[in-house]
Structure 1
Amino acid sequence: MQPEAAPRPLVMSDVAARAGVSHQTVSRVINGHPNVAPLTRERVLAAIAELGYRPNTAARALVTGSTRTIGLVTVNINQYGPAQTLVGLEQAARAAGYSLSVTVLDDATSENMRDAVDRFVAQSVDAVVALGTYDDAYEALHQISAPVPLVTVQSGGAVEDPAVGVDQVAGARLATRHLLDLGHRTVHHVTGPADSKEARDRIAGWRAELTAAAAPVPPILRGDWTPSSGYAAGKQLADRVREGDDVTAVFLANDQMALGLLAAFHEEGLEAPRDVSVVGFDDLPESPYFTPPLTTVRQDFAELGRRGVGLVLARLKGEDLHQDPVPASLLVRSSTGAAPARRLSGRER
């Protein structure tokens, strides 16, 4: 008995025959060409689904000069913000008919960044998106000249082109203003790493809102995004509360540090918001389930992804597209409340 021959791979002409259109029409639909009647496009897409046809991307790239792939180079995505930025970009790229190819670097040196971009160019990607949240990554990106569009995302709300980001300054001002409006005389701040552009933008927003309200500007407490650094800051602030210092409100640069701070306060017999009001930043999925549920600033990572991909598509068309920073929003939960009665310092007692 002769073995059965392997089924012939489906080709574009099979789709054309099933849909009753030309080979060229199928090609236009697959490549997202606008000059196709809606009903014809529906017939072609239905035929593709019925047959289970998968376009040959290599062949299509030879014809169109496009792989419909965007390269993403990033560093350190173990934190929530960068990880969710990646997810938002991937979803937006897929919705636009592109795939995302990702490279994660251990160190964002100029040489590593350049190598990553060169590898993407060798793979014939259409464009490269880079997450530039830290100084070394940001500086390395601005030393690279690429033959494809190079777009920076989440670079601390940068204003330079081409870049998109969340308005970190405005988000920090929202958090600080919320606490001042509750009657707190000032707001203490636990910040992120010194080399983080986002952390510095959040410091700037916090300081600007305090200054605008003529409120005292306390020294910052330095963290590193981790719950352990928030815990250490919480221990320091709890000591100051016991000494009678005016610590009634804390704004932390991310929710993970807020989690650590709340744990330290609990150990020290302090409760939020009875003793100290607490605000975070990012809106982790777990934040509504903290004890108490955490007031925080939400970043719209899906919108950030859409704007990042939109900027890539505009650059591919040779268009200049100005992108305003993505707005941040404040989510008020149970960790903030009215300022407690003023505590007396040791000198005043």
Structure 2
Amino acid sequence: MAPTRRANQADIAERLGVSVSTVSRALANEIGISPAVRRDVQRMARTLGYKSKHAVGITADKRAVALVPLGSATSGLSGFYFGILEGMKTAAADAGMLLDVRLVNESAVTLDLIKRQIAQADANGVLLAGIDAWDGLAAWCAEANVPVVLVNGSDPQMRVSSVAPANFYGAFLATRRLLDAGHRRILHYTHQYRPTILQRQRGFEAAIAATPGAVGSIINTAERATADLLADILAGKHDVTALFSWNDIAAVEMLEGLYGSDSSLPANFSIIGFDDLPIAGMATPRLSTVRVDREAIGRGAVRLLAQHMEGERAVQQLEVGVSIVAGETVFPA
């Protein structure tokens, strides 16, 4: 008896009346294929026993939509979220998950908007990048049994799962770097109190508290814009010798003024950022900062969402480790 021929993409295309190209793109989770066609292709692939090189265990049961804030994707944070999205796409392909990435206006994110995006993508799970949970969202997800994972976020009430960098320990390391250089009067410039950013402030406070003689002060962006804070520092309004910025963008904005030829600051004034965005490496001098593995955050978020889709009920908070980038902006005090 002749051996049974293994099914190929042409067999799937013939059964469904579509092109081989459409089958290939649907199996590879590429954009431009409608959810209905994608499901039909993958269902037929399973029926015929087709083995795809693109994903293990192709399934129509894993369809997710990732909502990314438009402002973050098109601003200085674009490098941050681009890395996260790359990690998401890689992990989704490995898990056989259909991932539909959509940009949304963060100032207009409501429960109704999220519901519409899920319906349009025909998804049964959602990834919220840079968007924090609230009571209505958490209650609806539990009632409707829709898995949700916060990406680069956390939920202190532990209603939904999340993946974020180790913000507390990263900030502790950043502050410790300044303290080890001999600085004892350090300013922390922080932002609006998202749970993730608050953890950075707490890490700063913990490092200061653990060091005898160290004094830390905190300024929020709601109190002083970056340019105003820079002017205050140059005018001597803050008795500090070092600054830990909540992110690289604000830190780089200050670099030219802090180290310019007309600056009255001492030569050993130090600054360290957080995230290791591309601009940190392009800055002159090279910004000292904390490196965040953004692709690992994206991969971890997809793996966690896949676990919830498979029935895992326990809320999980995954932290991705960070590391110090020495840079050129921390000097001995």
What TM-score comes out, normalization by structure 1 length?
0.71
CA deviation string 1:115-166 (max 9, x = no partner): 32344145421311112445xx545532432343222222148582422211
State the identity as a percent: 25
In structure 2, relative to structure 1, the CA distance for the partners of 1:53 and 1:150 (3 Å cut) is closer
SS in 1 for 2:188: strand
Task: Structure 2: give runs of 5+ residues left out of the alignment.
Answer: 13-19, 28-36, 47-58
In structure 2, relative to structure 1, the CA distance for the partners of 1:293 and 1:58 (3 Å cut) is same
In structure 2, relative to structure 1, the CA distance for the partners of 1:54 and 1:102 (3 Å cut) is closer
**CA distance in structure 1 between the partners assigned to 2:250 and 2:284 by the alignment:** 14
Deviates more, 1:176-185 or 1:77-86: 77-86
SS in 2 for 1:233: helix
Read off the aligned partner of 2:253 and give its amino acid letter.
G
Match of 1:71 among 46, 65, 68: 65
Q: Cα distance, 1:62 vs. partner? A: 6.0
**CA distance in structure 1 between the partners assigned to 2:135 and 2:216 by the alignment:** 30
Contact 1:252 1:279 in 2 (8 A): yes
Q: How does 1:48-59 map to 2 (within 5 A)?
A: 55=27, 56-59=37-40
In structure 2, relative to structure 1, the CA distance for the partners of 1:274 and 1:157 (3 Å cut) is farther
Match of 1:152 among 150, 154, 162: 150
**CA distance in structure 1 between the partners assigned to 2:4 and 2:24 by the alignment:** 13
**CA distance in structure 2 between the partners assigned to 1:262 and 1:327 by the alignment:** 27
* Structure 1 match to 2:93: 94
* Structure 2 match to 1:30: none
The alignment's C-alpha RMSD in Å is 3.5
Q: How does 1:1-349 map to 2 (within 5 A)?
A: 20-21=5-6, 55=27, 56-60=37-41, 66=60, 68-75=62-69, 76-77=71-72, 78=75, 79-80=77-78, 81-107=80-106, 112-121=110-119, 123-134=121-132, 138-139=134-135, 141-145=137-141, 146-156=144-154, 160=158, 161-192=160-191, 194-223=192-221, 229-240=225-236, 246-267=239-260, 269-270=262-263, 274-320=267-313, 322-339=316-333
**CA distance in structure 1 between the partners assigned to 2:25 and 2:168 by the alignment:** 48
In structure 2, relative to structure 1, the CA distance for the partners of 1:119 and 1:336 (3 Å cut) is closer
**CA distance in structure 1 between the partners assigned to 2:200 and 2:42 by the alignment:** 43
SS in 1 for 2:319: coil
Read off the aligned partner of 2:39 and give its amino acid letter.
A
CA deviation string 1:287-309 (max 9, x = no partner): 12312111101111111111101
**CA distance in structure 1 between the partners assigned to 2:156 and 2:83 by the alignment:** 18
In structure 2, relative to structure 1, the CA distance for the partners of 1:273 and 1:308 (3 Å cut) is farther
What TM-score comes out, normalization by structure 2 length?
0.74
Q: Cα distance, 1:282 vs. partner? A: 0.8
CA deviation string 1:16-35 (max 9, x = no partner): x9992258xx99xxxxxxxx
**CA distance in structure 1 between the partners assigned to 2:4 and 2:281 by the alignment:** 50
Which of 1 and 2 has higher RCO (CA within 8 Å, sep 6+)?
2
Task: Structure 1: give runs of 5+ residues left out of the alignment.
Answer: 1-16, 28-47, 340-349
**Larger radius of gyration, structure 1 or 2?**
1
